[in-house]
Amino acid sequence: MENTSFWHDTWSSLGCLSDILEERGVIDLGLHTHATVQEAMMSYRRRRHKTIILNIIEDEIDERKANADNAEDVSLWKGIGGMYKKRFSTKTTWMLLRDQQPLCQWSKGVWLRHSTPKFAFMTWCTLKNQLATGDCMLKWGGNVDGSCSLCQDPIETRDHLFFK
């Protein structure tokens, strides 16, 4: 508990206390923003508060004091489903951080195993309508000629270049 931040680490069943109490909690509990859990247990004396959440935190501090001899101070990594583990997993961390989307229907048609990356990327940009065509460059602003350089059509679009 000597390296665990009282305010910024998840040592409590309530989660990260700085997210719950914000700036006012530092004043109400009388613990500075860089306090560790060990400092809170050693130098803190209990107070009675009007706010229920502060009294719950007081109870957790008392509970940690009572179990301080039995508890091992270890860092745990959050896993899938809110379970905490002693071992770090890059894959699990990546899965928790990323915003998962369903696979698009055309992904296997673009990202082939032996495809040329340049052509696969251009195909992907085309399907997402993110090519620098005349209509897109006009939307981005600036002094740009938006006509088709192949046939002099007034507006160059993705559909005009690839499908018409």
The 10s digit of each residue's pLDDT in 66-110 is 776 655 667 778 888 878 888 888 998 888 888 888 878 878 888
How far is it, in rounded angstroms, from Cα 8 to Cα 17? 7
Share of the chain above pLDDT 70, in %: 95
Give pLDDT tens digits for 134-157: 988 888 887 888 898 888 889 999
Contact between 29 and 61 under an 8 Å Cβ cutoff? The reply is no
Residue ranges covered by each domain of the chain? 17-66, 107-162
Pairs from 155-160 (Cβ < 8 Å, separation ≥ 24)? 157/133, 158/126, 158/129, 158/131, 158/133, 160/133
**Entry pTM:** 0.44
Question: For the packed helices 52-66 and 17-29, what is the interaxial angle rounded to 10 degrees?
Answer: 90
Q: Hey, what amino acid is at 59?
A: D
Residue 163 has pLDDT above 70, yes or no: yes
